[in-house]
Amino acid sequence: MSEHPPASGPRPGSGSRRGRGTAPDAVVVTGIGVMLPRTSGVRDFWRNVSLGRSQIGPLTRFDAPGQGLAVHAAAQIDSFDADRLLPDLDARHAAKYSREILITMAAVVQARQDAALRDGDLDPSRLGVVMSSSRGPLAWWRPVLRGEDPDVLAERGAPMFAGLPGFPATLSAIHIGARGLVTTVSNACVGGHQAIGIALEELLSDRADAVLAGGHEFPIVPEVLHSYRAMGRGVISSEKRDPTHAVRPYNDDREGFALGEGAVVLCLERESTARRRGARVYARLLAHRYLNEAGHPTTMDLTGRLTAGLIRRTLADSGLRPEDVDYFCAHGTATRYNDLAESRALRALYPDRTPGRLPPISSNKPIYGHTFGLAGVINAAATSLMLHHQRLAPTINLTSPDPECDHDHVAEGPRDTEVRTAVSLSFAFGSQTSVLALETAA
């Protein structure tokens, strides 16, 4: 078992219960860029997440029955106007960039604009771009692996660099003139958190003044669906029902997740830098830790004890205790093992509490589906906005909870309440767990 050291600043004194102002110069979220199904920008994202408006619809990207797949729902980006969203991109370049690259670039540009970070605000050598993607550009590689002529691909505007997993980050950095660290993490569903963790380290070590940290994932291809269907029932939702109800975390009739796609990017800065230039701050990042359980390759610890211990240590990095947490943003995949692992982790974290007294926890997977290497970034963005707006987003489609998961999932709808400290959870194939702690910056 190995654990990454905390990505946090110096700890406060033992009397700092809430950890406000945890580090002498904490890291904050100043901008959020979002390109997701029927969602272009942070306002659309917050509206859909906070009001529980699912963006999962019928799977139309390809003929699933013709591919032998009983899968009917996905969260797809059906239209994308690169000219409108990237007006400064040379048309000759745009013609050579893949859809994945252009969508990710748009999210990067949005995050920078949302943070009001302008040219000249900082040294370009101290601006970085760190991304996460679990599988890279599958849509580019699919025809290559199926034997299509590379010359034909090139004629269609699909040059070789479009097949490199790190190129959405690289081309985004070129576009905005970022000359700091530019890299891409690929570590299944904890990669999004880890991209944020790397950004934290860059900022707290004073190697950067701002980092655009995010993720991009475009897994809606037949091969990915076949691989998850091969794992058996309860992994990928396959019922012919209203697609907006396809994903039902913690419900006793849950059937698994639907695939989602897109890109989300956070602009992270040290708080002193952000305050000095008068930037709006969504939330403060307290600490990040991740754990390799060294257990099963596809199943997380089901006792809940390992995850509970990781949460305790992450909170302790900022002088906090489990009792200080007001909300958990769940991984929430609507698969049996994930749902049980999270519920058992909460019970292990609060052994003296009844289920009805556990902190609220909710999942956004019913809104945007499962986005793998992007999922942790979506959670961090959603949590930052919940802290900013003092409103908890709900777990929708929860009508009959699994008895072991029968606690507070904010199932009644959006909840206005005081939220000061929150924890985002992420689990991944490869026996990996990640925890990100945040707090209100008010």
Mean pLDDT, all residues of the chain: 90
Please report, for the chain, the start and end positions of each structural domain, with discontinuous segments joined by +.
Answer: 2-24+286-439, 27-276
pLDDT digits (tens, 9 = 90+) for 64-83: 999 999 999 999 999 999 99
Predicted local distance difference test score (pLDDT) of residue 155:
53
Q: How many CA atoms does the CB half-sphere of 299 hold within 13 Å?
A: 9
2-24+286-439 has which fold?
Peroxisomal Thiolase; Chain A, domain 1 (3.40.47)
Decide whether 2-24+286-439 matches 27-276 in CATH topology.
yes
pLDDT value of position 12:
31
Per-10-residue mean pLDDT of the chain, 442 residues long, equals: 43 31 77 98 98 97 92 95 94 89 97 95 96 89 72 59 89 97 95 97 97 97 91 88 95 96 98 95 97 82 93 97 98 95 97 96 98 97 98 98 96 97 91 94 88
Q: Given this model, what pLDDT does residue 162 score?
A: 80
Per-residue model confidence (pLDDT) at position 152: 57
* pLDDT at 352 (0 to 100): 96
Could you report the per-residue pLDDT of 277-298, keeping only the tens digit for each? 999 999 999 999 999 888 888 7
Active-site amino acid positions: 189, 331, 370
- At 151 the pLDDT is 62
Fold of 27-276: Peroxisomal Thiolase; Chain A, domain 1 (3.40.47)
Provide the pLDDT for residue 147.
74
